[in-house]
Amino acid sequence: MEQLFQRLDDLYHEMVDIRRHLHQNPELSFKEVKTPKFIAEYHRKLNHDVRMGVGGRGVVAKLYGAKPGPTIALRADFDALPIQEQNDVPYKSKIEGVMHACGHDGHTAELLVLAKVLNSLKDELAGTIVFIHQHAEEMQPGGAIAMIEDGCLEGVDVIFGAHLLAPLSYGTIGYHSGPFMSATDRFSITLQGKGGHGGLPHHTKDTVVSASQLVLNLQQIVSRRVAPLEAAVLSIGNFVAHNAFNVIADTAQIDGTVRTFSEDVQLLIKSEMERIIKGTCMAADIDADFKYFHGYPTVVNHETETCFLSDIAKDVIGVRHVLEIPPEMRGEDFAYYLQCVKGTFFYVGAGNGDEATSYPHHHPKFNIEEKAMLIAAKTFGKAVFAYSERYNQSTRLV
């Protein structure tokens, strides 16, 4: 393991170079062209078995160890977000209105350099390593489900995934067994009334007032209909009724998200939304078009693999804390992989500890502590060797 860690340390500069190159050249979900080519070419230079266009724009590369063993998948996503970067850094995005504001550039860089190091150690490697480079994590339906349908998990025994997390301090590994990240649904409500003069409201059917009332009414679902010990979120993210200052809008648009862990709670919220929308609009004599879109399912980590990961992470150089953290209402299409094979998804702290320069994910000034990539790569690498050893021991015992 010392050799693995040392080689990763020696190639840290390359990891940073790759991350900054990708950061300068971000591509949006389902529009990735140059990034998958870059990834595939990197693996080809290592003589890995490479397949492009997996599930659309994904890349899958395989490294075969010299010894028999399990097939272990490691996943990294590589899409960016429609955000104008505001960081003043030499590697600032060159693409107007597009930015790596979630750390996917770091995920790709750490996995590519780990692939190079594992390749150099393949004589000691047992089994097959599948590097899953996934497109379109940020936009539903996501790239994971299409890549799975296209065979990226064929023969895979276990899968590990990680996210560089800015709110978590550098040197920390965060894990959780069982339901970890919520299902991520979204909804859209269009209210159709009768617009008119702001001075003559009695001649209109006011969608602004009705939509405002609806926002308040919807908030009572979680507070009054969902059991207090159940986790649920209903948030409005968009409210549009654009018009002149003296005109009552003809239509109003409300968009938002629902986050749950339980399918029963998910169905309850959707049903209650339908009832409340119908009642609110009936009272105002306006029409409503309600659309509900089911997003990524809950990320449910497998207990054995999560315990394994948390155990081996303690011995990774650079890791100061290994913490079990509570479930969160973030979402991840890594959930689909875990529905097919056993595995776990964990966080790697990428916060720089400076509140003045620390911004949340999806913020135009988001950035990471780049040394966190090294910790992620080392944790993945240690998991590969430790899991292979444990797998082969259990096979011999049987």
Contact 379, 194 (CB under 8 A): no
Outline where 25-134 has alpha helix (H): 34-45, 104-120
The whole-angstrom separation of Cα 376 and Cα 102 is 15
Task: List the one residue out of 181, 180, 179, 187 whose CA is nearest residue 221.
Answer: 187
How many residues make up the chain in this entry? 398
CA-based nearest residue to 347, from 337, 356, 334: 334
Site of tokens 């590097």: 131
- Phi, psi for residue 58 in degrees, rounded to 5: -80, 165
- Contacts of residue 263, defined as CB under 8 A and 6 or more positions apart, other chains included, come to none
Whether 88 is a known active-site residue: answer no
Buried-state track 135-157, b at ≥16 Cβ within 10 A, e below 16: bbbbbbebbbbbbbebebbeebb
CB 176 within 8 A of CB 325: yes
Of residues 137, 157, 272, 370, which has the active-site annotation? 137
CB 133 within 8 A of CB 22: no
Please tell me which residue in 27, 32, 77, 79 is annotated as part of the active site. 79
Active-site annotation holds for 137: yes
3-state secondary structure of 395: helix
Residues assigned a catalytic role: 79, 137
